[in-house]
A and B are shown apart, each in its own frame.
Chain A
Amino acid sequence: MDFIGQGFIKALQLLLSGDKEVYSIALLTIKVSGTATLISLILGVPMGLYFAVARFRGREFMVGAVNAGMGLPPTVVGLWVALFFWRRGPLGFLGLMYTPAAMVIAQTIIALPLVAGLTMSAVQQLSPKLRLQILALGASPLQFWWLILHEVRLGVLAAVMAGFGRVIAEVGASMAVGGNVRWYSRVLTTSIVLEVNKGNFSLALALSFILLFISYGVTYWLTVLQQRRRQV
């Protein structure tokens, strides 16, 4: 227990003393995972809405792919993205290997199925008649999607939380395509792995507390947004 307490105190010390490296690592973590979450929100929400409502050829296949993708191991995603971005890989010419951009791409692939899948299931929980009612009220296609989105906004927020929580906590993909380069692509999870390897258990513990602070802070803020709506 003493050890955990020390780690917690060290985490506070690192945060309060303004340790430049810890701050840059934490900031990069938020940037990378936040960007990945944003992109998967922009792509995943329309995907989820569409897959839930529309009927088209290959829909079952796509829905199956989304559901399977929700459990994709980050290490596998990392491996695949790395294969594409290696110098000899098909996208090697972009020079993205071992960059934060590659981490964003990998994390987007991890979060996207989660955001799309949870959005889809939120829409599917609505009464199918509600869609008819919205059309019957005179909604144009655009108004229709907007109202459906409004109706499932709590589910979408939950999807965002789940997506952000998953990517900020993953290490396999960030390690594989980011490389854990100091001052450049090192995020909290990869530096925790590094510190554990070095045997700096107390520093690793402190970093893990910082990760928890961030993850909790963001989730708390989203929860406040989500729950405030309920009181009307």
Chain B
Amino acid sequence: MRGIRSLTILLTVFVIVTLAACGPTTETSEEGSPEPEIKDLILSTTTSTQDSGLLDELIPIFEEQTGYLVKTIAVGTGKALEMASLGEADVLLVHAPEAEKEVEAAGDVINRKLVMHNDFILVGPANDPVGLQELETASEAFEALFENESGFVTRGDDSGTDKMEKGIWADLGLKPNGDWYIDAGSGMADTLKIASEKGAYTLTDRGTYLALRDTLDLEILFEGDPILLNIYHVMQVNPEKFEHINAEGAAAFVDFMVAAETQEIIGEFGVDKFGLPLFFPDAGKEDQYDL
């Protein structure tokens, strides 16, 4: 009957594990922090925001100040906005102003506020076969990429970056396709990796590029056009439209993101690692961008 005994041991161990797993998870509840009515706060954001590591710095501060447990769900911009439209999130931090305005107009989100920006850059092989470095505007740069057909990798994942890129092509009336236009269907890091391997160009946010620069054979070949700004807004999901929304927590998060101390942290983030900031705090500068 020793086999049965082994099974019994196995069961016992698993039972202990279960009990341990079902026990309270205390890791997140710091002592002394205030206890809000609804603890969970679902923050829907884009993968690129999470990947930058900025949230890992900001969220713990917010949690300690307010006592909320922030569940950061990092998805593509499209999905993040969809979560707001379905009432499946409490608060959003995204960077697709045009799409955001639509959701706001539909009454799904309220209290939308400008937080910060970083910018998009065009990167490519050091020898720059298309000659982007001599060009003045983003429109010229994209036209040159289209005519040269020397290789461009697109995210193809409906993310904010992807939407930005597709928007530029559309504004220029160009329909990129063919072997030179490579659809990665991946996140920014993988897309950069593919561009590096293939010696192709791609549009990227500065933060991800800086973080990966050492592993890539890519240089910054075009930057600085105002249309390449990546603008982040925070907004709360309309609690009057959906049930179960943590409105207080969402409002607190919006306030937190635009607070002076937070803005200072944002402005310094990345400086110690890359020598340059990854984000530029913008709270209160709504007029500047006409958004």
- Hey, which bits of chain A sit against chain B, CB under 8 A? 24, 30-32, 34-35, 37-39, 41, 86-88, 92, 95, 97-98, 100, 104, 149-150, 153-154, 156-157, 160, 179-185, 194, 196-199, 201, 222, 225-226, 228-229, 232
Residues of A within 8 A of B70 (CB): 181
- Asked if A198 meets B53 with Cβ closer than 8 Å, knowing A34-B18, A88-B88, A150-B3, the reply is yes
Rounded to whole angstroms, the CA-CA distance of A179 and B70 in the bound complex is 11
B21 within 8 A of A: yes
Rounded to whole angstroms, the CA-CA distance of A196 and B51 in the bound complex is 9
Main secondary structure of the interface of A (DSSP, over half): helix
CB < 8 Å neighbour of A160 from B10, B21, B40, B86:
B10
- Asked if A183 meets B17 with Cβ closer than 8 Å, knowing A153-B6, A228-B6, the reply is no
Rounded to whole angstroms, the CA-CA distance of A143 and B2 in the bound complex is 17
Pairwise interchain contact A98-B42, C-beta atoms closer than 8 A: yes
Residues of A within 8 A of B190 (CB): 196-197
CB < 8 Å neighbour of B189 from A24, A181, A196:
A196
B187 within 8 A of A: yes
The list of the 7 closest CB pairs from A to B, nearest first, reads A31-B21, A38-B14, A199-B189, A199-B212, A197-B187, A34-B17, A198-B51
Residues of A within 8 A of B25 (CB): 100, 184
Pairwise interchain contact B208-A199, C-beta atoms closer than 8 A: yes
Residues of B within 8 A of A35 (CB): 14, 17-18, 21-22
Nearest B-chain residue to A164, judged by Cβ: B14
Main secondary structure of the interface of B (DSSP, over half): helix
Selecting from B71-79, B138-146, B261-269, B276-284, the interface stretch reads B71-79
Nearest A-chain residue to B59, judged by Cβ: A182
Q: What's the least CB distance linking B88 to chain A, in Å?
A: 5
Rounded to whole angstroms, the CA-CA distance of A225 and B9 in the bound complex is 10
| 8 interchain pairs, CB-CB under 8 A | A32-B21, A38-B17, A92-B244, A154-B3, A157-B6, A184-B27, A184-B71, A197-B189
Pairwise interchain contact B215-A87, C-beta atoms closer than 8 A: no
- Asked if A95 meets B40 with Cβ closer than 8 Å, knowing A181-B73, A184-B28, the reply is yes
Q: What's the least CB distance linking A132 to chain B, in Å?
A: 22
Q: What's the least CB distance linking A78 to chain B, in Å?
A: 13
Pairwise interchain contact B3-A153, C-beta atoms closer than 8 A: yes
Q: What's the least CB distance linking B249 to chain A, in Å?
A: 14
Nearest B-chain residue to A179, judged by Cβ: B73
- Hey, which bits of chain B sit against chain A, CB under 8 A? 1-4, 6-7, 9-11, 14-15, 17-18, 20-22, 25, 27-28, 40, 42, 47, 50-51, 53, 56, 59, 69-74, 86-88, 187-190, 192-193, 208, 211-212, 215, 242-244
CB < 8 Å neighbour of B51 from A92, A197, A225:
A197
Pairwise interchain contact B14-A34, C-beta atoms closer than 8 A: yes
Residues of B within 8 A of A180 (CB): 73-74
Rounded to whole angstroms, the CA-CA distance of A156 and B74 in the bound complex is 38
Residues of B within 8 A of A182 (CB): 56, 59, 72
Nearest A-chain residue to B211, judged by Cβ: A199
Residues of A within 8 A of B42 (CB): 98
Rounded to whole angstroms, the CA-CA distance of A199 and B214 in the bound complex is 11
Nearest A-chain residue to B43, judged by Cβ: A181
Nearest B-chain residue to A39, judged by Cβ: B18
Q: What's the least CB distance linking A227 to chain B, in Å?
A: 11
- Asked if A153 meets B4 with Cβ closer than 8 Å, knowing A30-B17, A181-B72, the reply is yes
Nearest A-chain residue to B42, judged by Cβ: A98
Q: What's the least CB distance linking B60 to chain A, in Å?
A: 9
Q: What's the least CB distance linking A10 to chain B, in Å?
A: 15
Residues of B within 8 A of A194 (CB): 50-51, 74
Q: What's the least CB distance linking B216 to chain A, in Å?
A: 9
